[in-house]
Structure 1
Amino acid sequence: MKSFKKLSLVNRTEAPITAKMVKIEPFEVEQWMDKYEVTPGVLNIAETCAASISIDDLVALCEDPNIPHPINTRTKLTYGAIRGSPALRERLASLYSARVSSPLSAENILITPGAIAANFLLLYTLIGPGDHVICVHPTYQQLYSVPASLGAEISLWELRKEKNYVLDIEDLKPLVKDNTKLIIINNPNNPTGATIPKSVLQSLIDVAREKNITILSDEVYRPLFHGISPVDADFPPSLISMGYENTLITGSMSKAYSLAGIRLGWIASRSPSLISAVASARDYTTISVSQLDDAIATYALSQSVLHALLGRNIQLAKTNVALLSTFISSHSQICSWVKPNGGTTALVQFKKKGEVVDDVEFCIDLLEKTKVMFVPASRCFGEEFKGYVRIGFCCETQVLKEGLEKLGGYITENVA
């Protein structure tokens, strides 16, 4: 963890310590989304959240009519509970305590304004100049650009299409150095939709434990699994349930729970010292999360709502990924993919006369002519993904159907 030299406010003879931050790179995927998702009439099949719902929709999912409405208009809007309400933290702790011998305490949960804040906060807390960080790639750019901006050396643990985007532990081992501080994974993965099998997670822990390396598992798309069953031997559990204390996981109400608008995420760890360090740094960024957001999240994670909400979204994912699979199969001379088994996103490659398309030009031209929006992978995830686009397939089914119909017409006229 970072250490800071405390300066005396009385004796100012010591020169202050200065730390140089490296310039942070533009956040390409967020800038692309911000620029184009406001296009009038856009058919947004680039969005990564399961189709969003309203408070009324959430209440309609509740199976117990006696549960109070999530918003109490008589509650005074103070800062509320600083680390998150006890009820919310207890419900999250319960989710991570299923089928484990040692239940997780609510004290091991820290509430944040979304997973993006959770990731930034813990990276800021843990990483500094001289540290080495290994990060899965491709993934959400924040996970490697932020530690680089903090002065860390970054090594990318590459997902490979020929291995169905499943991480290979043998690719990790030569990346580990004496100063490796953190290994970052994203499970399920954005943008591929691949999941990391349980056996690979165990091997990762074995490597990390040998050198006392902390692991950050960004689990923002968990538990949205649609191509793998909990009874499968390699179904991926949350990393926090696998017995390695030096683990941090982040999550959010945005993706699998359809509530991006409440801006609520969390950090969880079995290490009290890790949680304490992050909570201390959090004082500089967040006094507390909105009481309204906290209340809605608490309601959504109640036993009377949670199963219906996740059931809705898992079925939505299964329905929509089947539609996308059918489309790709029927245009197999032009597009190909590795079918995802978790999350809300997929990488799809497009070719024209046997050559990969310029995905940036392809996405812009498609948007201008049809209003269908994709994310160009070479711009947002690396040049090695030229010809690929990221599709977010968990929008409303009708939106996906209309988007694929227009995409099919565009392919016939411009690509085939």
Structure 2
Amino acid sequence: MDEYETTAKYNIAETCSASISMKELCELSEVKTSANDLIDLTKPLGYGEIRGATELRNSLSRLYSSRVLSLLSPDNILITPGAIAANFLVLYSLVGPGDHVICHYPTYQQLYSVPASLGAEVDLWKAKPEKGWNVDTEELKQLIKPSTKMIILNNPQNPTGAVLKNSLLQEIIEIASSHSPPIMIFSDEVYRPLFHGITPVDSQFPPSILSLGYRNTIAVGSLSKAYSLAGIRVGWIASRNPDIVGQCAAARDYTTISVSQLDQQVAAFALSPNTIHGLLGRNIGIAKTNLELLEKFVIKHDEFCSWTKPVAGTTAFVLFSRDGQPVDAVELCKRVQEKTGVMFVPGDRCFGAEFRGYVRIGYVNHTSVVKEGLAEMTKFMRREFDDVPLMDDVAQ
């Protein structure tokens, strides 16, 4: 991403919903506010509240407490500079040598590489493409060891756009809670609540891991992916267990004393009842529109493309093959960008060697970018795709 995104004409590898300005954010709110009034210019710019602004944590508390019997206290939420910092703090605070961790896979590399770097033993709980990127709880049971301390989930999942459904989450909690000692469940939920292929009225709609009554759960979120505000660098850690939040807060004292007050003011406005519905409605609308464009592309090229259609988040994992063999995805991505200016991410380079031929496509960018990028990709498929090497040819 760092190497190629600055030169891409059509960046449809981006994982954030189409970014918005403060002016656009204000226009989405039910209470019309000028961007000039969004920030309190009279507020002294000290560290502020160390664990996070009360207004912001109250908004998050309200979101996590919706549709559940047990409210989540704002004291059980720690604000961080983005979800990447939140993930690192959780793992740094809770995992170390002698611990065993099980990680839902494929996923963001941080979630399994960081615990390994901290000395933990890591096993991957693999979702399978032939099963629609579902996972098997019997396999999870077989992975558990006496030293298993944490199960790491990514829900909705990057890069596939699949979700772990309600009944499956219940099974995971039953397995974790029956272990002695009980296993912590850590869920990276940064793509929540961008659901566009499943709705809350569906019995299998996936709630946050914090909503299922198990105390030893941790959720991480941010304003970057579903809320279009990556530039303000606001994320959070939330748990039903205050001791977990306390350990993360203690570790954060050595990395980030507090998060920018200016960023938190914007975040609190975005998550307020007057703004969040307009913001999410915009992004879900973009996701549905653009996913339809991507689906038409996959169908048009079904001789070469296959996928499991995403139901949530911003990313799709598409397999490109020819004559029944996966193409060299790294070479495909390089040639596509060179010839068309379209940027994808190669699956085997970024998510594991077994994902040969896969590319990750970020489709919740501005619709014009996705539409024009896929049009250029269609020309590439017609003119250049036959020359992309197959993985078997590369191996030889």
Which bracket does the TM-score occupy, shorter chain normalised? over 0.9
| Correspondence for 1:360 | 330
| Correspondence for 2:24 | 57
Q: How does 1:317-356 map to 2 (within 5 A)?
A: 317-356=287-326
Q: 1:219 aligns with which of 189, 194, 197?
A: 189
Query: Is 1:385 matched with 2:355?
Result: yes
| Correspondence for 1:117 | 85
Query: Is 1:199 matched with 2:167?
Result: yes
| Correspondence for 1:48 | 15
Percent identical pairs in the alignment equals 59
Cα distance, 1:73 vs structure 2 = 2.0
Contact (CA 8 Å) 2:10, 2:343: kept in 1 or not?
Answer: yes
| Structure 2 alignment gaps of length 5 or more | 387-396
Q: How many residues align?
A: 383
- In structure 1, distance between residues paired with 2:284 and 2:354: 31
Query: Is 1:289 matched with 2:256?
Result: no
CA deviations 1:217-255 (Å, max 9, x no partner) are 000000000001111110000010100000000000000
Compute the TM-score of the two structures, normalised by the length of structure 2.
Answer: 0.95
**3-state DSSP of counterpart to 1:73:** coil
Q: 1:175 aligns with which of 136, 143, 149?
A: 143
Q: How does 1:144-293 map to 2 (within 5 A)?
A: 144-211=112-179, 212-293=182-263
| Correspondence for 1:405 | 375
- In structure 2, distance between residues paired with 1:229 and 1:264: 26
Q: 2:51 aligns with which of 56, 72, 83?
A: 83
Contact (CA 8 Å) 2:210, 2:217: kept in 1 or not?
Answer: yes
CA deviations 1:310-361 (Å, max 9, x no partner) are 0000111011111100110011001111000000001001113332110000
**3-state DSSP of counterpart to 1:157:** strand
Cα distance, 1:167 vs structure 2 = 1.8
Cα distance, 1:74 vs structure 2 = 2.2
| Correspondence for 1:29 | none
Residue 346 and residue 102 in structure 1: after superposition, are their counterparts in 2 closer, same or farther (change >3 A)? same
Compute the TM-score of the two structures, normalised by the length of structure 1.
Answer: 0.91
- In structure 2, distance between residues paired with 1:143 and 1:173: 20
| Correspondence for 1:373 | 343
Cα distance, 1:42 vs structure 2 = 2.1
Cα distance, 1:193 vs structure 2 = 0.3
| Structure 1 alignment gaps of length 5 or more | 1-32
CA deviations 1:74-130 (Å, max 9, x no partner) are 222111111101110010010000011111110010000000000000100001111
After TM superposition, the structure 1 stretch with the greater mean CA deviation from structure 2, 348-357 or 84-93, is: 348-357
Query: Is 1:299 matched with 2:266?
Result: no
Contact (CA 8 Å) 2:17, 2:225: kept in 1 or not?
Answer: yes
Q: 1:128 aligns with which of 64, 84, 96?
A: 96
Matched to 1:245, the amino acid is R
Q: 1:74 aligns with which of 15, 34, 42?
A: 42
Query: Is 1:36 matched with 2:4?
Result: yes
**3-state DSSP of counterpart to 2:187:** strand
| Correspondence for 1:106 | 74
Cα distance, 1:415 vs structure 2 = 1.8
**3-state DSSP of counterpart to 1:383:** coil
- In structure 2, distance between residues paired with 1:35 and 1:277: 36
- In structure 2, distance between residues paired with 1:66 and 1:55: 10
Matched to 2:65, the amino acid is S
Matched to 1:115, the amino acid is A
Cα distance, 1:61 vs structure 2 = 0.7
